[in-house]
Structure formats: C-alpha cells, structure tokens
Amino acid sequence: MGTGQLTIDLDALNANWQALNAKSADRVETAAVVKADGYGLGVGRVARALARAGARRFFVAVAEEGAALREALGPGVEINVFGGHMRGDTDMIHDLDLVPMINSIDQMLRHVEALPGHRFGVQLDTGMNRLGMEPAEWQALRPIAEEQNLTLVMSHLACADEPEHPMNARQLAAFREMTEGLDVPRSLSATGGILLGPEYHFDLTRPGVGLYGGRPFDEAQPVAHLDLPVIQTRDLAAGETVGYGNTWTAEAPCRIATIGAGYADGIHRIMGPLTAMYHGDIPCPIRGRISMDLIGVDITHLAEDPTSLSLLGHHQGVDTLADNAGTIGYEILTALGPRYARRYAGG
C-alpha cells in the first residue's frame, strides 16, 4: 500500500465530548462543532458518533456544510450555521431545517422576509471584530428579533486559550450587557471558554477542536492517528545528503527510509527539522526537506527496517506538529489530505 493510513478513533472523540460535557456547568447543553468536514476527519462518521454520545445540537460554518450534515444525521437534531443566512441559502435553510446565526441587518431582513417564522439565532460581536452584530446594530434589531422565532444568541471569545488574557473578561461583560433581560438561550464558549469556568458557560457550550484532540483541552485523547508507509530504505556514507537542496548531510554512515507522504498530504514542509516519526516508542528524525510526496527518515538506530512509521498518535499529537510548523493544531487537522486511506475505529 503506497498511501498512508489515517485512523480516526471515534471512541476517543466520544470520550472528549463526554469530558467537555462534564466540565460544562449543570443544566448547560453541550453541542458539537463539526465544520470543515468534521475538522478534516469526515463529518458523517464524526457527527454520527457524537450524536450517539449525546450531542443534539451541531454547528457548521456554511449552509452547504449543513446540507451534508443533515444528509448524514437525518431529522431530530438541530443544525446551526455560523455564517448566517447568505444570498442563495434560503431553500437549503427551509428544506433542511437549518438554523442560521444571523450576523447583520442585511441577513436579518433577508431571513424574516424570505422565511417568516423560521427559527434563527443571532451572533453578537463582543470585540473580536469578525462576525456578528455590534452593540448599536443589535440594539436597533433586538425588538424585531424577539418578535420572531429567535432560538439562540451567541458570541465568540477571541483569547479563550489564554485564561489570563484581559480580553476574556471584557467580552464576558459585553455579552452580559448586550443580552441583559433576554429570555432566549445564550452561548459564549467553545472549548477554551468551557475551560475558563462556569461564568462563561451560559445555556449552551459548543466545543470544537477539543473534541478532536487539540489545545487548549490538554486532557483530550488523541483522535487522529497517522501511519505512513516505507517505500524504500538505503544506506548512506558519511558526507552524503538527503532530499532537495542538500539541506541535510550525514556526519556518519546511516540508514534512511523514504516515506510515502509529503506536503501534498498536509505534512507541512517547515516542520521537517523539528519533527520525528515513531516506530513503536522510538523516535526517528526526519532528514532533509519534506517534499510533495516523499520524506526521508533516519532509521539507523532501529533493529530492523520498518514497513511503516507513525506521525500522529499517542506519542505525538496535532499540537506538537503544529508547534514544529509554527502554526496551530486546527491547521494540521484540516490539512490532512485526501490520499490517506481512512479507517474509523470504535464509536
């Protein structure tokens, strides 16, 4: 087999949801964010596993993702769309019973005119300046929203992964002020907000990356496991080089395995100098540049030539690779390429 195998541990996914659900305050509903094809791991299988774990409300980025999720889950769960009611979304929102999170006056007018009586949520901007209504805009539209089928009011924390950041308290205060007296469920917290404590939880939490094994939920079990095939092995003499640009030179005789994967599969070239692959518990450092389809790995210290090496798993998670690449775990997860053979375990 010339392609890597990506194993998605649905039992670990469910355990992460259960753990975050337990951290949410009493009488708080825990939803699940499955945007970007379930953070790159396959929205159908991921969402069905989360539904079996107990999730009854899901969040996606756009209506098209909501359509794929409805096909996977069928009726009986609520699907919320962060991007709101965009032009051209009306039929999908109506026919598939999606709940748009309205972000602006234009979206509000589009929704109530096209689908009077259809439920919706509202997203408020409490300082992130990304999506949502600012205070003056919300003040003008709030009476209209309250007269319609408003089911949720939400906002999003900009710095929840930094517990001591003053932005968290500022956004919490702004959200409280903007929603004071509102008799509608409220939501402020994704994974990081859950970990900030009960005052941030309100009526609904909506974990995302923590479900999939990423920071800031350090207790998360790894969900993505990636094993990559060894295509060829060779012995090098001292002074020989590996890969494009001759960026690594052997200081002594060594044995190099060529792995069948590369940056076309989401293994960012920049992570190479700091990253190892694993044979069981034994790290094997990458040598030379990561190329589009191939990676050189030093296996000199192994007792035998391996048939595959592990890049993701219990020894090395998405955040370790992210640190090595100067990015975040979200990018590592969502970049995992389509060439991998995918296998779902448990769930």
SS3 content of the chain, % helix, strand, coil (to 5): 35, 25, 40
Give CA–CA dist 300/235, Å, rounded: 9
Is residue 189 within 8 Å of 159, Cβ to Cβ?
no
pLDDT in tens, 250-271: 999 999 999 999 999 999 999 9
Domains in the chain (CATH in brackets) are 10-212 (3.20.20.10), 224-345 (2.40.37.10)
264 DSSP assignment: G
Query: Where do the H-state alpha helices sit in the chain?
Result: 10-23, 35-39, 43-53, 63-73, 90-95, 105-114, 135-147, 166-179, 191-196, 318-325, 329-334
Determine contact, residues 294/260, Cβ cutoff 8 Å: yes
- Spatial contact of 271 and 290, defined as CB atoms under 8 Å apart: yes
Max CA separation in the chain (angstroms)? 77
Report percent pLDDT > 90 for the chain: 96
Nearest Cα to Cα of residue 160 among 196, 208, 206: 196
> What is the spatial distance between Cα 281 and Cα 55, in angstroms, rounded to a whole number?
35
Bond prior to 163 in cis (omega within 30° of 0): no
| Res. 224 pLDDT band, cuts 50 70 90 | very high
Q: Which residues are catalytic?
A: 35, 244
Whole-number pLDDT of residue 188: 98
Return the residue matching tokens 């408003």. 150
pTM of this prediction? Answer: 0.94
- Tokens linked to 49: 């596993």
Cβ–Cβ contacts within 10 Å for residue 274, how many? 14
Nearest one of 105, 173, 96 to 144, comparing CA atoms: 105
pLDDT in tens, 104-145: 999 999 999 999 999 999 999 999 999 999 999 999 999 989
* CA-wise closest residue to 104 among 150, 137, 151, 81: 137
Q: Are 201 and 207 in contact (CB under 8 A)?
A: no
Please write the tens of the pLDDT for every residue from 23-56: 998 899 999 999 999 999 999 999 999 999 999 9
Q: How far apart are CA 142 and CA 127, in angstroms?
A: 18
Q: What is the pLDDT of residue 1?
A: 58
- List the beta bridge partners of residue 133: 124
